[in-house]
Structure 1
Amino acid sequence: MRAQSSVTLYGVLDAGLLYTSRAVNASGTNIGLRGTEDLGGGLSAIFDLESGIDVANGGFGNSNGNVFGRQAWIALNGGFGTLQAGLQYSPFWKVTQPMPSVDNVT
């Protein structure tokens, strides 16, 4: 029996122009890698690496300047639940976001 693994490249390109005192505003754009690896015995490893992108100049759109400055975490999932560590969105942010469509649920 062979272990199952998957890696997904995802992203959103969201650019808007707002003219205010000669400023251009673009926000919401991101790109990331999300994956799972079946470790056997009911355990799986999960990871997510996400970066913001500044559409105006092509640089990283993260406030901290890191490559994966939005999310960079790994988790172990099993019968005990999920143990997740790393840079991740706060629980408050997660509950304020719209529900994903059925096609986007992992």
Structure 2
Amino acid sequence: MRYLIISRNRHPVPPDVAATLFDAALAWKQKYQSKIKEIFAFAGMQAGGGIAETQSHEELDSIMAEFPMGPFGETEIYPLINVERAWEVRKKMAKTMATESGRKPLTVDG
């Protein structure tokens, strides 16, 4: 299962613990490098994100529970699916709805 994770700082990190907290965040990143496929910061913002790949929601929850910056921010997690699969499902749904309404589905060539 793949997830987009977005984290935004909502509370300032106390200066006296900032260096230690950043070291802990780097250690967390190393610990979970096989699960956190990409991690990035947003330019000019106290925010960042990443792509995680886990076997379950529970596994992701356990990983995120250890995220050192968690108490200072707000984290959003979005499950990801293959875009072609999503479009096929929606295309099928649209055709069904058009048929049930008595309309002929439009095609690309008219």
Q: Which has the higher helix share?
A: 2
Which structure is higher in RCO with an 8 Å CA cutoff and minimum separation 6?
Answer: 2
**Per the shorter chain, which TM-score range?**
under 0.3
TM-score, scaled relative to structure 2:
0.23
| Larger of the two Rg values belongs to structure | 2
